[in-house]
Structure 1
Amino acid sequence: MALVGLLGLAGTAWGQAYEIEDIEIEGLERITAGTALSYLPVQVGDTFDDNRSPEVIRELFQTGFFDDVEIARRGDVLVVIVSERPAINEINFSGNRDIPDEGLREALDSAGLRSGRVFNRTMLDRIESELRQQYFARGRYNVQVDVEIVELPRNRVDIEIDITEGPVAKIRQVNVVGNESYSGRELTRRFESGVPRWWAFFSRRDNYSREKLSGDLEQLRSHYLDQGFLEFDIDSTQVTLTPDRRDLFITINVDEGDRYTVTGVDLAGDFVIPREELESLIDVDIDAPFSRSQVTESAERISERLTREGFAFANVNPVPDVDEDNREVAITFFVDPGPRVYVRNIRITGNQNTEERVYRREMRQMESAWYNGALVERSRVRVQRLPFVQSVNVETERVAGTDDEVDLNITVTEQQSGALSLGAGFSQNQGLLLTASLTQDNFLGTGNRFSTEVSTSKVNQLFRMSVTNPHFTPSGASRGFSVFYRKIDAEEANISRYSSNRFGFDVTYGIPLSEFDRIQVRPGFENIEIETVERSDTRIGTPDEIIDELDEFGDSANLYKLETSYIHDTRDSTTFASQGRRHRVGLEVTVPGSDREFYKLTYSGQEIFRLSDRYSFSLSAGLAYADGYGGDDVPFYERLFAGGIRSVRGYEDNQLGDLRPIRDGQVATRDSNDDPYGGRFRTTLSAELFFPMPFAADNDGVRMSTFVDAGNVFHDVSDFDTSELRASAGVAVTWFSPVGPLSFSVAEPFNNQPGDELQRFQFLLGASF
């Protein structure tokens, strides 16, 4: 082609030097002439001869835009003839399951391969190599990658990538070599990589992953550094594949080094907070083996304390002074608080459906105030707890030109705040459960909550509608309204032979006392009507006690109620909490003028202790007392009951109580039909150990526990007798499934008495009403 170009030149001898009068580029399709000219090493006015042609061709080839470049001359015009490489139109994947399309595109993008880029056939090897590395990191060593190029009009191509992922290589053994102080089993038992336990049938522990192994190596390093081995090192890690690439063996070579003892700790630097207070934050054991976690956590506590005083960029650097001869180390914490920082602006983005004030009222860090790390984190948690927020990200940005101001950029990702749900479930005691509900947690973007619910079972028929403003006042007090209707069949609930119809309304005020303490006040009205069961030759009717009470007070009552409660809640989650506490004290009373005058005092408390990342232990207790006042007694339909999956497992719902018969006018917790009649005083206790379910350890939506429950109902506080408490022990499983919570328990009562109604296996499927 170069020869053809030469022969086409008229009146000019090729090879003769000349001054370039103009430059023309032929063959361009997508690339502009200006872009191509910018890469040329010559320009108009330069002297050009054939000795400079290789330089021009080389520079244009190095751009990567062209497959072919030719140089020609037309008079004193330099002519550059190019053939462009095609552009990548789309990159399509098929056959991939383990890694989604987005993940594969990100991998290719990091290697410079994306739509719109110039395509070079030398890229094919890079594409295959990069994708293989992605799958190798996930243990799929038999992956096959086939790439097909589809040519399109206008000098474009599609890249079609077909992937056969192949099986994940299974780990058959993990060996640690060089360990003397600890056995290999002790070092690897907490690894995420390894041979599954014999009972973990669905475990993926033996699926190799480079990321998992990196985490295991860091866990191994942390173990040794927390036990005093200051010079511990991992010399090498070998991953050996079998010839068929299906099994692999991992060998970790370690050098333990010597164990060092901490001889002392000290503080140095600028003490903007009293030294004594900072020293109290250091928790490093003296004359004990060195522990990196103790040192790191102490430095973090000091840093966090400094951020609460406005030192947002404080630096606390623990420096060890190592005595290699005596195997001792002294730690000095160097404190550099940096400048005190103000928050200039708080910017909120991502609120597409919500008014900005809804988020700003959750802020505990204020603008123009000192930066406080604890308040910033609390603000993030409060926004995250909003039901219409999926995620929250807080970034601290320095203000340009100053070292004492920052901006907080809060980015929220919102999720659907309304839900229309139709559901069904089944309970041993309530039978088939049907429910329909409409909920809007962010009504018109105001943060207010509106809900309505209709549900039915053989025990309950319920209709409820409510509206709640969580920030009725600027200080964070809430107010809500609700109306309801409920029909309860007490016989189906294992209580007694009658049914009740209730309707009413209430207003709820919530008053925050602190971040974790709240008071609720709920005045309301309720009307209740009792329907009795006629006695016949084939059916036991309503017991005499209830008939006598209805004869005295009537079969309907108007109740004007006032309920108050104090709640202290520090739990880290409202579903599967792993630490924290929740205590609630409540009083419900019907005000004078009601048809029945009574009150209820209740207490419930739970203390949860985190034992490890996967284990936690809970102690909980409940107390309740109900009685009448003004000469009245507590109505039979407000008496207290116990037993069942929510109180003392292993005993039937509402079946616990005193079995003594009624005689000499004494009121017991069983009626004349030997049905539960309830009592005035109830107590329950429970101790529970929570842990991951063995066959689904990676599923955060399911949790297993072993428990001991105890409790009972007594006619009055004076009748309380610890020997009358019923107890059980067993195991339970709770799963927050897409259709609602599912609970199962197997309990063995171990001090039940004759006449107790037992139910060793209990379950509740779907929502409970």
Structure 2
Amino acid sequence: MAAGRLQPVNASGGSVSQPKAQAAGARRSALSILLALLLMAGAAAAEVFQIADIRVEGLQRIAAGTVFNYLPVQVGETVSDDITAQIIRTLYGTGFFEDVSVERDGNVLVIAVRERPAVAEIEITGNKSLNTDVLKEGLVEVGLAEGRVFDPSVLDRIEQELQRQYFASGKYGVGIESTVSPLERNRVAVRIEIDEGLTARLKQINIVGNEAFTDKELLKEFKLGTTNWLSFYTKNDRYSKQQLAGDLESLRSFYLDRGYIELEITSTQVSISPDKKDIYLTIALDEGDVYRVSDIQLAGEPSVPAEQLFPLIHMRRGEVYSRKMSTESADRISKLLGDEGYAFANVNAVPEVNEDAKTVTVTFFVDPGKRVYVRRINMQGNTRTRDEVLRREMRQLETAWFSTELVKRSRERLQRLGYFEEVNIETPAVPGTADQVDVNVTVKERPSGNLMAGIGFSQSEGIIFNTSVSQSNFLGTGKRVAFAFNTSRTAQLYRLAYTNPYYTIDGISRGFDISYRSTDFDQLIGADFSTDIGRAAINFGLPISDTARAGIGGYYQYTKFFAGRSLLAQDFVAENGDVFNDFFLTASYTNDSRDSAIFPSEGSLQSVSGEIAIPGSDLQYFRLTARGRKYVPLGRQLTLALKGDLGYGDGYGSTESLPFFENFFAGGPRSVRGFTANTLGPRETTLDEDPVGGNLELTGGIELYAPPPLGENLQNTVRVGAFLDFGNVWWTEDTDLVEPTGLELGDLRYSTGLSFAWLSPVGALSLSLAYPLNKQDQDEEQVFQFTFGQTF
């Protein structure tokens, strides 16, 4: 059979070129008609054949196997016109080819293709406010990426996507131009030029229809706002549709919480100035009437006496209806039922509105379900830590009623151990039962050992070398072992410590601590004396609650005192000697409810501690200290921190006063910033007038913390603040060697300034820029202060 040829067919299955009968005149002869019929019969016979082989021509990057995978025919099948049309449509549909044709070479099916070019590179220029990587991620979503097949139709979608991203950041005057340049080997380079223009700012927000509340009251609920002096940081003046939707929901909640059930936001209009710089927002609303609570009812089967549930409903008849109070009341009832073992309780507050009387009847439908017990507590993921270490932290017990509060507290206690990166607790129902659950605890271990060598610098102590070996979860038992060595120009420290947090099954801890410290006060504060102190201690801790703990202990302390040229030190040695063996009793109480030990945003820390040298010691004295921290979140961005420290010490028995090398000191980055460290307070009445501290300390401050204006990804490692510090120390005993003496609150020093803290990959950096508000002649001012530590 002679080789034939299929007619080329387009992607839609229609004929691209088809023989046309030529008009020979007004009338056809019988011979012409016969010849035409014979030709058509021959063509039909040529178009239908059985495939002996398939050949693909024109491929450059795409493998032939890829084409074969898409073909709707295989060798041995019969081909006709409708099949060829399907082949072309299928290959066009892949998006890989610009042109596809199907031909016949004998019994070989020949598929000729021309590939679309590949994207070799994408260049974006002119983008300043949006990161290039972020923009490229958006381009990938619409189908443009390096290495992919280029589709010209995607350029429109690219411009729309980029416009969307810039509109979301408030740049409505953005201009985008894209060009495509051909390259060798059937590739193209895509260049996108962006003219960002200026960021449009909210010029005015108008609220129309509000009669009960002023615009100022309502706009306090908005995160959007007109430009003010903080807008560069908060970016509140950048309009976005998503943020407006959130603000409108906040507006609805504001009215619903004040009895305006019929509130309707009738329209929102957003207009932009011709120069695309200013945005005007108008919100129209219809407040409606105020509704009051006419009745409060309980429905369903609470399984808990109503006398226990009604006090949890913080609503009263005759009061203005509040959706917030209704929801919070339902949550309290649900929590109580959960704590009583009804793990699957369902509580819904349903308001029944009386439009004529303008009242609401609130019915709390309570469905407690069955009381649930814990069948088994399963531990998973603790490859190093023993099960018992986890189980002793669990407040939810096996065979007991299930309690949502106890499960929550169990998770918090496991997180506070510091042994795990993640703690997850699931409570699946036991198959085949309706009143049992398992508590599955899954943890992800973190390295609990720490081998550290480091170098740091502080303005008060100079270069600091340190090394330490610690294991907070020794052999998976939860016991802590540590060795430390630190040295600076002012002090050297060697320390070995061991703590068993569960010395008894009830959670009483026991620890031992042996240390040696050598301190050169001449380098530290300028006073010419030094001490060598060795200590051996034992301590016990008693848990009072999940956040509070009491401690008692005792230690022996050996002190070697070197007087130097200080007259105060020489007088002390003449009266008491220079070597002391003392025995101390200690007691403490700590309550820590902060949400984080680093950069907390809420909670508090209170601690009180005391130590006293018992009778029979060479020196007899005591020291009392109190410390308080309070963190109050102000919205989602700001945190207000309040802090205060109080310390007092004195002698008793044969020791007239607190040994002055045990004095409190103030000034510096850790107390009153803006003053040189440890320089506030009394001084020796000598030519050098060296600071000597005092036996009474009072310091504190107020600080407003904020995340950095550089991006949300840094909020866990960077924090800035504005502060007001105050404090001083006093020498309350009369002496001719120190002045001033006595307590005078008018001696308090104040400073204000800005702070910056960064948990960098190589250590913690703390900076402050402070201005003393009431500096006196003898005070040493230090406006800029910093500390930095590096580990390697």
Does structure 2 conserve the Cα–Cα contact (< 8 Å) formed by 1:641 and 1:654? no
1:724-763 → structure 2 map (5 Å cutoff)? 726-727=747-748, 731=752, 733-738=754-759, 739-743=764-768, 745-746=770-771, 748=773
2:361 to 330, 334, 338: 330
1:579-598 → structure 2 map (5 Å cutoff)? 579-590=602-613, 594-598=617-621
Distance in 2 between residues matched to 1:248 and 1:177, nearest whole Å? 15
Distance in 1 between residues matched to 2:515 and 2:407, nearest whole Å? 38
**Which is worse superposed, 54-63 or 221-230?**
54-63
**Which is worse superposed, 632-641 or 510-519?**
632-641
Does structure 2 conserve the Cα–Cα contact (< 8 Å) formed by 1:590 and 1:597? yes
Distance in 2 between residues matched to 1:144 and 1:413, nearest whole Å? 49
SS at match of 2:557: strand
* Residues 507-528 of structure 1: CA deviation (Å, up to 9, x unaligned): 5554434311223455444332
Distance in 1 between residues matched to 2:320 and 2:96, nearest whole Å? 62
Note closer, same or farther for the CA distance 1:676–1:52 as it changes in structure 2 (3 Å cut).
closer
Shift of 1:379: 4.6
Note closer, same or farther for the CA distance 1:390–1:170 as it changes in structure 2 (3 Å cut).
farther
Distance in 2 between residues matched to 1:84 and 1:345, nearest whole Å? 64
Mapped pair 1:169 → 2:202 = no
Note closer, same or farther for the CA distance 1:405–1:144 as it changes in structure 2 (3 Å cut).
farther
Does structure 1 conserve the Cα–Cα contact (< 8 Å) formed by 2:660 and 2:694? no
Does structure 2 conserve the Cα–Cα contact (< 8 Å) formed by 1:649 and 1:728? no
Does structure 2 conserve the Cα–Cα contact (< 8 Å) formed by 1:169 and 1:248? no
* Residues 338-371 of structure 1: CA deviation (Å, up to 9, x unaligned): 453748665756x899899877776555677655
Mapped pair 1:701 → 2:719 = yes
Equivalent in the alignment of 1:373: 404
Query: What is the aligned-residue RMSD (CA, Å)?
Result: 5.2
Distance in 1 between residues matched to 2:522 and 2:729, nearest whole Å? 22
Scaled by the length of structure 2, the TM-score of the pair is 0.73
1:267-346 → structure 2 map (5 Å cutoff)? 267-284=298-315, 286-338=317-369, 340=372, 342=374
Does structure 2 conserve the Cα–Cα contact (< 8 Å) formed by 1:688 and 1:708? no
Shift of 1:253: 3.4
Distance in 1 between residues matched to 2:269 and 2:446, nearest whole Å? 45
Instruction: Among all aligned residue pairs of Structure 1 and Structure 2, give the percentage whose two residues are the same amino acid.
Output: 28
Residue ranges of structure 2 left out of the alignment (5+ in a row):
10-16, 19-40, 57-61, 735-740
Question: Structure 2: which amino acid aligns with 1:15?
Answer: A
Distance in 1 between residues matched to 2:129 and 2:375, nearest whole Å? 44
Scaled by the length of structure 1, the TM-score of the pair is 0.75
Equivalent in the alignment of 1:554: 577
Equivalent in the alignment of 2:737: none
Mapped pair 1:486 → 2:547 = no
Mapped pair 1:29 → 2:63 = yes
Equivalent in the alignment of 1:193: 224
Distance in 1 between residues matched to 2:47 and 2:194, nearest whole Å? 59
Task: Tell me the matched-pair count.
Answer: 725
Distance in 1 between residues matched to 2:771 and 2:462, nearest whole Å? 21
Distance in 1 between residues matched to 2:43 and 2:391, nearest whole Å? 77
Question: Structure 2: which amino acid aligns with 1:582?
Answer: L
SS at match of 2:44: coil
Shift of 1:121: 3.9
Distance in 2 between residues matched to 1:584 and 1:69, nearest whole Å? 81
**Which is worse superposed, 51-60 or 410-419?**
410-419
Note closer, same or farther for the CA distance 1:68–1:4 as it changes in structure 2 (3 Å cut).
closer
Distance in 2 between residues matched to 1:246 and 1:58, nearest whole Å? 49
Note closer, same or farther for the CA distance 1:66–1:400 as it changes in structure 2 (3 Å cut).
farther
Question: Structure 1: which amino acid aligns with 2:521?
Answer: D
Distance in 2 between residues matched to 1:401 and 1:597, nearest whole Å? 70
Question: Structure 1: which amino acid aligns with 2:765?
Answer: G
Question: Structure 1: which amino acid aligns with 2:63?
Answer: E
Residue ranges of structure 1 left out of the alignment (5+ in a row):
535-540, 660-668
Distance in 1 between residues matched to 2:751 and 2:540, nearest whole Å? 40
Question: Structure 1: which amino acid aligns with 2:651?
Answer: D
Equivalent in the alignment of 1:573: 596
Equivalent in the alignment of 1:538: none
* Residues 160-182 of structure 1: CA deviation (Å, up to 9, x unaligned): 56463725623141313323333
Does structure 2 conserve the Cα–Cα contact (< 8 Å) formed by 1:199 and 1:694? no
SS at match of 1:551: helix
Equivalent in the alignment of 2:7: 3
Equivalent in the alignment of 1:665: none
Note closer, same or farther for the CA distance 1:455–1:54 as it changes in structure 2 (3 Å cut).
same
1:230-241 → structure 2 map (5 Å cutoff)? 230-241=261-272
Does structure 1 conserve the Cα–Cα contact (< 8 Å) formed by 2:621 and 2:649? no
Mapped pair 1:180 → 2:198 = no
SS at match of 2:227: coil
Distance in 2 between residues matched to 1:529 and 1:326, nearest whole Å? 86
Does structure 2 conserve the Cα–Cα contact (< 8 Å) formed by 1:343 and 1:370? no
Distance in 1 between residues matched to 2:189 and 2:343, nearest whole Å? 49
Equivalent in the alignment of 1:15: 44
Note closer, same or farther for the CA distance 1:424–1:200 as it changes in structure 2 (3 Å cut).
farther
Distance in 2 between residues matched to 1:23 and 1:250, nearest whole Å? 71
Does structure 2 conserve the Cα–Cα contact (< 8 Å) formed by 1:271 and 1:335? yes
1:238-637 → structure 2 map (5 Å cutoff)? 238-284=269-315, 286-338=317-369, 340=372, 342=374, 364=395, 371-382=402-413, 384-385=415-416, 405=437, 408=440, 410=442, 420-426=453-459, 430=460, 432=462, 434-436=464-466, 450=482, 452=484, 454-457=486-489, 460-466=490-496, 471=501, 477=509, 479=511, 481=513, 483-489=515-521, 493=525, 497-506=528-537, 509-521=540-552, 523-534=554-565, 541-543=566-568, 546-590=569-613, 594-606=617-629, 614=638, 616=640, 618=642, 620=644, 622-629=646-653, 631-634=654-657, 636-637=659-660
Note closer, same or farther for the CA distance 1:202–1:488 as it changes in structure 2 (3 Å cut).
same
Note closer, same or farther for the CA distance 1:163–1:714 as it changes in structure 2 (3 Å cut).
farther
* Residues 94-140 of structure 1: CA deviation (Å, up to 9, x unaligned): 55665556655654565567789776443343344334323322223
